[in-house]
Amino acid sequence: MAGPRVEVDGGIMEGGGQILRVSTALSCLLGLPLRVQKIRAGRSTPGLRPQHLSGLEMIRDLCDGQLEGAEIGSTEITFTPEKIKGGVHTADTKTAGSVCLLMQVSMPCVLFAACPSELRLKGGTNAEMAPQIDYTAMVFKPIVEKFGFTFNCDIKMRGYYPKGGGEVIVRMSPVKQLSPINLTDRGCVTKISGRAFVAGVLPFKVAKDMAAAAVRCIRKEIRDLYVNIQPVQEPKDQAFGNGNGIIIIAETSTGCLFAGSSLGKRGVNADKVGIEAAEMLLANLRHGGAVDEYLQDQLIIFMALASGISRIKTGPVTLHTQTAIHFAEQLAKAKFTVKKSEDEEDACKDTYIIECRGIGMTNPNL
């Protein structure tokens, strides 16, 4: 079945782990043998990190494929996919590597498996440089399910930097085909809520301070809405290690969701963490898009696979999104256009419409 290898340059554009995730997922889905070179060439520690390696091994196991050159620090891999199968699959970064990024690479693949899948993902649930599991559950999940599938995300144990130790179980059934989405009508903000957490030895006061600072910051700009941010002490049996963080979500009248989040670090005071999350949310509400900046790139692969024309309205198009589009076009031959929004209300804003004619991938097993 294997044709010529598709060559991917892992050092261009965003130049990080995302190129690896998008290209191996598409390789697996489309049965394209792949070589990725210059992996994470632009990073301070180039090559594969534990997180990327466990994602690759998971994709290999999902389809009984062959993977060569996959070890920590490696900057070149080759991958030959076979048939995607459902069932139980485990990936363990053994570090605080993000379970959400493991989900990003595996989810599109198991949608086109022959039977339901259970993904047991271990690592960091609330980690730097990646979506927090709360974002995945509260923003990504309801929006991505508009493509016509559902999944269940069960947080067994939370894990933080530097130890990780978290575990999330994702269960999903395959689909015949994905429907296109249209997320262009932003509506008006109807509700703002959130969760400020502490885990391990950190005092509960830290959660209360993060929440209070975030509420104060949002109130300066949005006066007429009740802002409900719950301070939470993570139960000892559901959190491994010490951590703190906050996620705040705005919901609109048309069902759009936007978030701002931040994680505590040693020596950073709680107020600062709360304010950072609030400011991120407010920035995402100012640009007039219907998705926030962290969702736009995560939707690209699903738009590429769907049948028909998908449209999303976004703020400034991120480098992550441009990168995802580049590889979805190169590997899947989907067609994307990105244009400035022509709506009157967006005239003075930095707002764009990303449109995609998807390839209408069908599940050969169903």
In Å, how far from its chain's centre is CA 338?
21
Check the annotation: does 350 bind a ligand: no
Closest CA to 243 of 199, 278, 287, 276: 199
The β-bridge partners of 360 are none
Check the annotation: does 104 bind a ligand: yes
Check the annotation: does 297 bind a ligand: yes
Closest CA to 218 of 287, 163, 268, 285: 285
Q: What is the DSSP code (8-state) at residue 137?
A: I
Check the annotation: does 294 bind a ligand: yes
CA–CA distance, 160 with 243 (Å, rounded to integer): 6
| Burial of 324 from C-beta contacts in 10 A (0-12 / 13-18 / 19+) | buried
Active-site choice (52, 89, 287, 320): 320
- Name the strand (E) or helix (H) holding 226: none
CA–CA distance, 346 with 194 (Å, rounded to integer): 28
Check the annotation: does 119 bind a ligand: no
CA–CA distance, 248 with 228 (Å, rounded to integer): 9
Check the annotation: does 132 bind a ligand: no
314: tokens are 């976004």
Q: Is 320 a catalytic residue?
A: yes
- Torsion 110-111-117-121 (CA) sign: positive
> Which positions are annotated as active-site residues?
320
Q: Which residues are annotated as a binding site for ATP?
A: 104, 294-298
Residues of each annotated binding site = 104, 294-298
